[in-house]
Structure 1
Amino acid sequence: MSKKQDESELLSFLNAKGAYQPRKIGKSTDFTFLANLTGRPQVWMLDKHGEVSSFHELKDRVLQVYHSPSGKHTVLASDFEGNEKQQFFLTSDNGKTIEDLVISPEHFHQFGGWSPDESRITYASNRRNPGYFDIFTLNIETKEEVTVFESQTNCTPLTWTADGKRIIFTYAVSNIDNQLHILDIESGKTTPIGDVNIPARYHSVQLTKDNMSGYVVTDEGRDTLAIAKFELKKPDSLDFIYKSERWDIEEVKISVDEQYLAFSLNEGGSSQLGIYSLRKNTVTNIKDLPVGVYQSLQWLTDRELLVGVTSSTLPGDIWKVDIIDDKSERLTNIGVSPEVSHLWVEPELCHFSSFDGLEVPYFLYGKKSANQPVMLYIHGGPESQIRNEYNPVIQYLAAQGYAVAAPNVRGSMGYGREYVQLDDVRKRMDSVADVNYLVEDLVSTHQADRDRVGIMGRSYGGFMVLAAITHYPKVWSAAVDIVGISHFRTFLENTGPWRRRLREQEYGSLEHDSDFFEEIAPLNHTEKIQVPLLIFHGKNDTRVPVSEAEQLTKDLESQGKNVELIIFEDEGHQTEKLENHVLMNKKTVEFMDQWLDK
């Protein structure tokens, strides 16, 4: 295959599109969804013929869509060149015209929902102080803005109660834990949901129309996330109604007639869709859906659900599920890529035993023969998880003859509370040791070529790459760091104030752990690096400042090491623009081809 043909095939992998985040419009069965069909994510819908049509196109990417209860109004959330500082825009004619609604470009905004009568929205913003998020309401007609709650941390409104008098909001406690509180708008009084004395996660709040009770996903007093019920009159007491001792509940959504709870269960990186009958207290598992990850559950009718589905061989599409007959229908076909989909491969779910006997899971793509070159792909977070989802770089590397291993090392989400805390603070390097043991497993169990092992990762995964090549320098042949952390001290000093406070719960604090930061910092061990290093970073990154890449590159260049830094001037923490996405992944594959010498 010629070089030109190689580039054409790579573009086919990278240009694969997906539809995600379905949002029902009012009481109709119409819905919008997001898709990157034009170079950046925008809002789309299906017309009466089932064809995709534009809802409205903004200048920059659309991050979220919020339809009012009747569907008359819609708020679109967008940022500027990847900086994640969401601004809100309003349309009241199904996207035909749009107006600025909440605009303060230097500040973050987090949407919290429409009031039941649709006259107001609520949101949080850090306008008063960069490190504090306060809660506001805004009348969409008069544009009157009212501060209804001031906080000393990061809080986000989630939903209004049915009487429109209260707002439920989440209050960040640590990098993973939060609290839920009910805010009385008139008095300013707050009441907690659940036991605030027990560290826990809470999300996916669903309230009943009678203003009496609600449901929430939480791990209060448990290892895994489960579904609990609470009463609004006594919300501190939770009654668990459905749980799995091994896996986390991901999302829950109450049906229109309030007879069912639809939920997704994360089983080792793939989803199971379940329907819990509130009347019978029984669970039915839906089988007629493709294996993959299910997101953004939306009830269309009393018996029909919208589900966003993605998998390793599906970039993303929207399905409709009949819960009574257990039948599904694919509504969009944006994830269809006939020119390249025949090359996509399903991963094998594997496990290895790490240095202390901990069983660590990983997905293995493209394993074909002995002595293959192998790439390790490390996820970010660290409280994230490699899922059974489409990744164009992994798929392309597998198609080119690489075996690709994507692990969920200790500290990853999806395996319970105990597992996610195994790398906290001074246990940080245990997760890096997991990566080293993964290589040993790939060599011994899957006959990977020990002399042709590459590693790449994004964000915290970028730190893992840098830590691996400095603390285990002889293992690797090439490395790619994307928006990674080179020193936790400088990262914490330069990241956003509100993010710093939460990140210190995971990484350690500047006050108490600076000695440990110095001990493990890749920036302090650059003389050990023996492999070529390719670095990417976004100039507008508000999470991991671009200075993390610049200081590392400068140090390596002063030593004459093989390093290349590419800064995207119009990107943030994510790489959204098509031309940048293509350049980054093309360079990555060419880089690995060069240094892994296939």
Structure 2
Amino acid sequence: MGTFTKYMNLKYSRKEKALYFISSESGMHQLWKYNPTTGRKMQLTRLEQNVKNYWLEDEHITIAVDYHGNERNQFHMMDGEGIGTLIEDPDYFHHYGEYDDDQNIYTMVRNHHESSNFDLCLVHAKGSVRVLRTFDGPVHFISELPGDRLLLSKDVNNIDEALMIYDMDKDQMEDVPLPEARFSAFKFHEDRCLCLSDMHDGYMNVHEINVEEGSHRRLTAFEWDIEHFKVSADKTEAILSCNENGQSVLYRMDLETSSTEKLGVIGDGVVHSLAYGEGHELFLIHSSVDQPHRICRHSLETGEMETVLGNTDQASEVSWRISSYRSFDDLKVPYFIYETDQEGKKTVIHIHGGPESQARPEFNVLYYQLNRAGFQVVVPNIRGSKGYGRSYLEADDKEKRLDAMKDVIELRRHLMEGGMAEGSRISVMGRSYGGLMTLLLVTHHSELWTSAVDIVGISHLRTFLEHTPPWRRALRAAEYGSIEESGAFLDDISPLSRSKDISVPLMVFHSHHDARVPYSESVQMVEAMKGNGQYVGFTAYENEGHTYMHQENIDDMNSKILEFFNRTLQHP
């Protein structure tokens, strides 16, 4: 069916007039460079591990690499002489902050894998580390401020952050008097600080804030989340990518008047990354249901857009649409569907992870391959998904967990009543939190499904909270409930407690270096089912983490899932 390249993380170097990006073209994620003038592309790294991120400095590039997807990023420096090690301490997760070219010093945050503490550090380019301050939970570097001060944020729950200022000379912290909210994409210019935040009404909009006084004003009023906010080199305008019911819509914003103009550039799909080029030139990574990832160049002057890098293998056209249904409590739940015109439809419902995430009509190789093989793929954004406002995001918290499960059951009913699916040929699958939801559905309501696939899913919320990294435990408790307050509820609903009730074939995938959902979550579920004499298949990958990044493993998993559904969704 072809292998499709994935492009990620565009950055433009005005000094070199070159475009940088991460690509999976080699079978792993490596750093590449593209010259828009000559059309030449070049692979810059050939590392044994995947490149997770990178930062363009004045004289070198800083590269983040982890070990088999364990998310403990280690940092390397690449210059004209090759790649050297900056930080190589595999017991720590490292989070990039900022590089000071004059002092040859990095600001970083690190976290030991067994600790809840986060260290704010200064790292000399030769590798020596100086801890400035230790925090008792996740902190994130935002920016340097005048007077040797740093703007930081601290996670207060699974969604919100609080802003604070750290004075390096005085070793003092000061809270920024702004509401706890979601914050991202900070832009500083002269006396202005712009950012994205949902502190006004639960939707991510552009705000102008004063971190000294705590004053703020909202500059845009979209009732959707803005996901990308890129400011031009002359600071006069910005490009916004707004997530409107899952699809990306681009706007041009005048930063003096705050007025916005819709750009009719993208017909459907998702913009994954944006970067200003020269003058009025814009580069973007785009994909849609049947359009594999591509890098495009758009002229803001003429409105023309062209693909400059794309996939050699082309995808066939897919019939798909976005729709919605009413759940058990009349909540409107959106979904999108890959349709098929075959009789006796075989339907797979896929539930996304997070849960604070969102399924979107981007190019998904597994969905595409399932659809090409004759399956109808239905992808809901059940309650708890982001992209639809704060109340929707919080509608599945704690004791409301099974309400999200009921959303999937109501989707099944909706498909059947609308003549879109046959009750005897509907299977369910999901990844991460979607894996938990899949296991909940086949333990609480096994009679509704033909078969199921769980990928890196949670099998018991108590053991998940006990074994996930300490700093994540408190944040995830805000979503699932704590062991102390909700332990009995977690024990009662968790799939492992009800594993004997599964009456359909189940296939499970996991990986040994998963830093988010422990590998033991799948092992204990598989062992319980085998002990009960139930049908369960299990595949574990030695060199992956929570997100699979090696093409051979992705191909192996997808082929096994296709074979499994082909076998289990035949007419009884």
Task: Output the TM-score relative to the length of structure 2.
Answer: 0.96
Instruction: Find the counterpart in structure 2 of residue 524 from structure 1.
Output: 497
SS of equivalent residue, structure 1 residue 113? strand
* Equivalences for residues 7-86 of structure 1 within 5 A: 9=1, 12=2, 15-47=3-35, 49-68=38-57, 70=58, 72-86=59-73
Q: After the TM superposition, which of the residue ranges 473-482 and 392-401 deviates more from structure 2?
A: 392-401
Work out the CA distance in 2 between the residues paired with 1:131 and 1:570.
26
> Is residue 204 of structure 2 the alignment partner of residue 231 of structure 1?
no
CA shift for structure 1 position 30: 0.6
CA shift for structure 1 position 233: 3.8
Instruction: Name which of 178, 195, 204 aligns with 2:185.
Output: 204
Instruction: Find the counterpart in structure 2 of residue 108 from structure 1.
Output: 93
Inter-CA distance 423–137: structure 2 relative to 1 (3 Å threshold): same
Q: Is the CA contact 2:20–2:33 (under 8 Å) kept in the aligned structure 1?
A: yes
CA shift for structure 1 position 484: 0.4
Inter-CA distance 233–302: structure 2 relative to 1 (3 Å threshold): farther
CA shift for structure 1 position 306: 2.3
Q: Is the CA contact 2:14–2:278 (under 8 Å) kept in the aligned structure 1?
A: no
CA shift for structure 1 position 323: 2.4
Q: After the TM superposition, which of the residue ranges 167-176 and 458-467 deviates more from structure 2?
A: 167-176
CA shift for structure 1 position 151: 0.8
Q: Deviations over 1:157-193 (max 9, x none)?
A: 13334x5833322211111111222333322333444
Instruction: Name which of 256, 281, 285 aligns with 2:262.
Output: 285
SS of equivalent residue, structure 1 residue 512? helix
Q: Is the CA contact 1:375–1:403 (under 8 Å) kept in the aligned structure 2?
A: yes
CA shift for structure 1 position 117: 4.0
Work out the CA distance in 1 between the residues paired with 2:263 and 2:177.
30
Inter-CA distance 593–159: structure 2 relative to 1 (3 Å threshold): same
Work out the CA distance in 2 between the residues paired with 1:28 and 1:517.
55
Work out the CA distance in 1 between the residues paired with 2:283 and 2:156.
32
Work out the CA distance in 2 between the residues paired with 1:264 and 1:555.
46
* Equivalences for residues 212-361 of structure 1 within 5 A: 212-234=191-213, 236-244=214-222, 246-333=223-310, 335-338=311-314, 341-342=315-316, 344-361=317-334
Q: Which amino acid aligns with 1:86?
A: N
Instruction: Find the counterpart in structure 2 of residue 5 from structure 1.
Output: none
CA shift for structure 1 position 213: 2.1
Q: Deviations over 1:247-269 (max 9, x none)?
A: 11112122111101221110011
Q: Deviations over 1:211-264 (max 9, x none)?
A: x22111111131211110013442x111111121x2111121221111012211
* Equivalences for residues 129-140 of structure 1 within 5 A: 130-140=115-125
CA shift for structure 1 position 129: 6.2
Work out the CA distance in 1 between the residues paired with 2:94 and 2:452.
36
Inter-CA distance 299–529: structure 2 relative to 1 (3 Å threshold): same
Instruction: Find the counterpart in structure 1 of residue 158 from structure 2.
Output: 175
Q: Which runs of 5+ in 2 are unaligned?
A: none
Q: Deviations over 1:488-525 (max 9, x none)?
A: 00001011111111111101101111001011010111
> Is residue 136 of structure 2 the alignment partner of residue 152 of structure 1?
yes
SS of equivalent residue, structure 2 residue 366? helix
Instruction: Find the counterpart in structure 2 of residue 418 from structure 1.
Output: 391
SS of equivalent residue, structure 2 residue 424? coil
Q: Deviations over 1:91-132 (max 9, x none)?
A: 122xx5010001111210111122364722211101496212
Q: Is the CA contact 1:410–1:422 (under 8 Å) kept in the aligned structure 2?
A: yes
Inter-CA distance 295–400: structure 2 relative to 1 (3 Å threshold): closer
* Equivalences for residues 524-543 of structure 1 within 5 A: 524-543=497-516
Instruction: Find the counterpart in structure 2 of residue 189 from structure 1.
Output: 172
Instruction: Find the counterpart in structure 2 of residue 124 from structure 1.
Output: 109
Q: Deviations over 1:331-357 (max 9, x none)?
A: 212x3413xx12x41521010110000
Q: Is the CA contact 2:248–2:266 (under 8 Å) kept in the aligned structure 1?
A: no
Q: Which amino acid aligns with 1:31?
A: L
CA shift for structure 1 position 447: 2.9
CA shift for structure 1 position 23: 1.2
SS of equivalent residue, structure 1 residue 295? strand
Work out the CA distance in 2 between the residues paired with 1:155 and 1:92.
30
Work out the CA distance in 2 between the residues paired with 1:49 and 1:536.
44
Inter-CA distance 194–321: structure 2 relative to 1 (3 Å threshold): farther
SS of equivalent residue, structure 1 residue 98? strand
SS of equivalent residue, structure 1 residue 418? helix
Instruction: Find the counterpart in structure 2 of residue 4 from structure 1.
Output: none
Q: Is the CA contact 2:439–2:459 (under 8 Å) kept in the aligned structure 1?
A: yes
RMSD: 1.8
Q: Which amino acid aligns with 2:468?
A: T
Work out the CA distance in 2 between the residues paired with 1:54 and 1:231.
42
Q: Is the CA contact 2:281–2:298 (under 8 Å) kept in the aligned structure 1?
A: yes
Inter-CA distance 118–406: structure 2 relative to 1 (3 Å threshold): farther
Q: Which amino acid aligns with 2:355?
A: P
Q: Which amino acid aligns with 2:181?
A: A
Work out the CA distance in 2 between the residues paired with 1:257 and 1:190.
33
Work out the CA distance in 2 between the residues paired with 1:144 and 1:570.
30
CA shift for structure 1 position 369: 5.0
Instruction: Find the counterpart in structure 2 of residue 555 from structure 1.
Output: 528
Work out the CA distance in 2 between the residues paired with 1:118 and 1:297.
30
Q: Which amino acid aligns with 1:285?
A: K
Instruction: Name which of 433, 437, 453 aligns with 2:426.
Output: 453
Q: Deviations over 1:551-588 (max 9, x none)?
A: 11111111110011111122111222122111111111
Q: Deviations over 1:369-399 (max 9, x none)?
A: 5531100011000000001111111111111
SS of equivalent residue, structure 2 residue 374? coil
Inter-CA distance 216–192: structure 2 relative to 1 (3 Å threshold): farther
CA shift for structure 1 position 33: 0.4
Work out the CA distance in 1 between the residues paired with 2:458 and 2:309.
38
Q: Deviations over 1:295-349 (max 9, x none)?
A: 332222342222221222233222223223333232212x3413xx12x415210
Work out the CA distance in 1 between the residues paired with 2:547 and 2:256.
44
Q: Is the CA contact 1:134–1:147 (under 8 Å) kept in the aligned structure 2?
A: yes
Work out the CA distance in 2 between the residues paired with 1:170 and 1:326.
38
Q: Is the CA contact 2:14–2:277 (under 8 Å) kept in the aligned structure 1?
A: no
Instruction: Name which of 373, 381, 401 aligns with 1:408.
Output: 381
CA shift for structure 1 position 473: 1.1
SS of equivalent residue, structure 1 residue 511? helix
Work out the CA distance in 1 between the residues paired with 2:499 and 2:92.
36
Q: Which amino acid aligns with 2:76?
A: F
